[in-house]
Amino acid sequence: MKSLKRRERWTKRLALLLLGFSNLVASAQTADQVFYGKIYTQNDQVPWAEAMAVSSDTIMAVGSVSEVQRLIGKKTVVVQLTDKQLLLPGFIDSHTHLVDGGFRLFSVQLREAKTPQAFIDTLKAYVKTLKPGEWITGGNWDHQNWNGEMPTRHWIDSITPHNPVAITRMDGHTILVNSLAMKLAGVDNRQPDVAGGEIIRKDGELLGLFKDNAKNLITAKIPPATREQKEKALQGAMHYMAQNGVTSVVSLTGTGFGSYYDVYEKARLENKLNTRIYAAKEIENWQALGEEVKAQGNGDRWLRRGALKGFMDGSLGAHTAAFKEAFSDTPRDSGFLVVDEQTMYARMKGADSLGLHLIVHAIGDRSVTSFLNMVARLERENGPRDRRIRMEHAQHVSAEDFKRFKELGVIASMQPYHAIDDGRWADKVIGSERAKHAFAMKSMFDEGTKVVFGSDWHVAPASPMLGIYAAVTRRTIDGANPDGWVPEQKITVEQAVRAYTIDAAYGIFEEGTRGSLIKGKLADFVILNENILNIDPNDLPNVTVLNTYVGGKEVYRKP
């Protein structure tokens, strides 16, 4: 009898265990969220779907309504899109200055100043919000807004007597400073020139304009931001990204600005990241990064390291991009390399020997050719491997160099908005013949080059919609080119979306986890109020991000 009762007890326990296991299995097969509507997957095998199921932070299923419907449970949240709306992978911004952009959200806004007086008035109003002694940075001014006259310290000295100023041109390669800032930095008319930079003078007098490496004379004296200020900037930047449907970013940096990796890491540990970040360090710090990766690894799905950002030259707008021939508007000037080729190659080779990822800025045709030559040499000397070396900008390419990108496996990391911005005045600077190969996105696609898109925010808006619009229409922001500036370089919406999603994921070694909507990948996606693949491309700037999801979590909803 006792034996029978013992068996009955064990039978009941086993039944309860089996029931629990059954419930666990059932629960695992139930989606947390299901979405019905037009779904553009970026999966070449099945580019369109009717439904998608999400479990926790992962895509559970993508397919027909009948395939996904069976995953709905009692607690599943079901979202039905309207006929006009479109769900697609979250956008990846392949070129940002994330925390610096966050600081710009709270700094003086000069991008829209269309006249010198508007520039001065905007700065004057901003000064009134500050305490004496506080530095004024940011700005993003654009002298092309008022026919190309560069501002000088004489414009701003009288309105900023108690606040040092170091405000940046929109491309980040020129700063305007006031006399107080120069005094604090110990810079006067006797200041020697700086290699890889330029100090603008008139009759021997400093005008307050410092380009590329010369900027460091001033910026090195600016008090560093506090941890709290950096964290505030990061949170503001991530919110801005989510508003624009961006779920992952490549956070690049320049000499002297730092990678902000410590800020990102703290936010990750505190579960405060809602944007996935691939953070680069300055290339001159390649040995330190190699040690960090060796000791701590590359990171996780929220925050990764292993990339290095270098600079070959400056920018077209600052006349510091390195060209083979002189600028059309300054015939004795062809720009310059900001670091000599021997030094750059030594850094590249050392970093590559540690398996680090090279991401290098090159704009002028001379710097583009030089960098491609270095990559070819690297391949010979260090041997073949999956490097995915990226050339940032690749703006002005010699005709014979286009084919070399694919041959060498170099990714063209381009920022389409720059084309419709610089296109207002680029012909004047480089001439119409060289302009045919400017921002040549179609030529890159035609050669089979892997192209990834980004914004270069804070230099340009971090809006993939504006980026896609720029790539597809090439209509300059001044309205002067309604049929497109260099229209033969227009690409399709499908190509542009690919460069913002699955190919952008490839550009950071993450095509297996994001960039397309496939079972098992991260549930990073965005819902738009329009199907951007079948509307008039001229209407793309009016398309609105309704919802942004990162890891299945809604991080933005349009109010």
Q: What is the mean pLDDT of residues 511-525?
A: 98
pLDDT digits (tens, 9 = 90+) for 394-420: 999 999 999 999 999 999 999 999 999
Coil/strand/helix, residue 489: helix
Q: Class of 99-219 per CATH?
A: alpha beta
Of the pLDDT bands very low, low, confident and very high (cuts 50, 70, 90), residue 147 is: confident
What pLDDT is recorded for position 258? Answer: 64
Quick count: other Cβ atoms within 10 Å of Cβ 228?
A: 8
Q: What is the mean pLDDT of residues 282-291?
A: 96
Answer yes or no: is pLDDT of 504 > 60.
yes
What pLDDT is recorded for position 6? Answer: 57
Answer yes or no: is pLDDT of 278 > 90.
yes
Identify which of 116, 162, 106 has the alpha carbon closest to the alpha carbon of residue 141: 116
d(CA 305, CA 313): 24
pLDDT digits (tens, 9 = 90+) for 82-127: 999 999 999 999 999 999 999 989 899 998 899 999 999 999 999 9
What pLDDT is recorded for position 158? Answer: 96
Identify which of 350, 354, 390, 349 has the alpha carbon closest to the alpha carbon of residue 372: 390
Strands 48-55 and 545-550: unpaired
Answer yes or no: is pLDDT of 434 > 70.
yes
Answer yes or no: is pLDDT of 24 > 50.
no
What pLDDT is recorded for position 29? Answer: 87
Percent of the chain with pLDDT over 70: 94
Q: For the chain, what are the domain ranges?
A: 1-30, 99-219
Answer yes or no: is pLDDT of 534 > 70.
yes
Say how many residues make up the chain: 559
Helices (H), 297-450: 341-353, 365-382, 402-408, 416-422, 426-435, 441-446
Please answer whether residues 438 and 317 qualify as being in contact, where contact means their C-beta atoms are separated by less than 8 angstroms.
Answer: no
What pLDDT is recorded for position 16? Answer: 39
d(CA 528, CA 351): 40
What pLDDT is recorded for position 254? Answer: 46
Cα 280–Cα 276–Cα 441 angle in degrees, nearest 5:
70
What pLDDT is recorded for position 5? Answer: 53
pLDDT digits (tens, 9 = 90+) for 171-208: 888 999 999 999 999 999 999 999 999 999 999 999 99
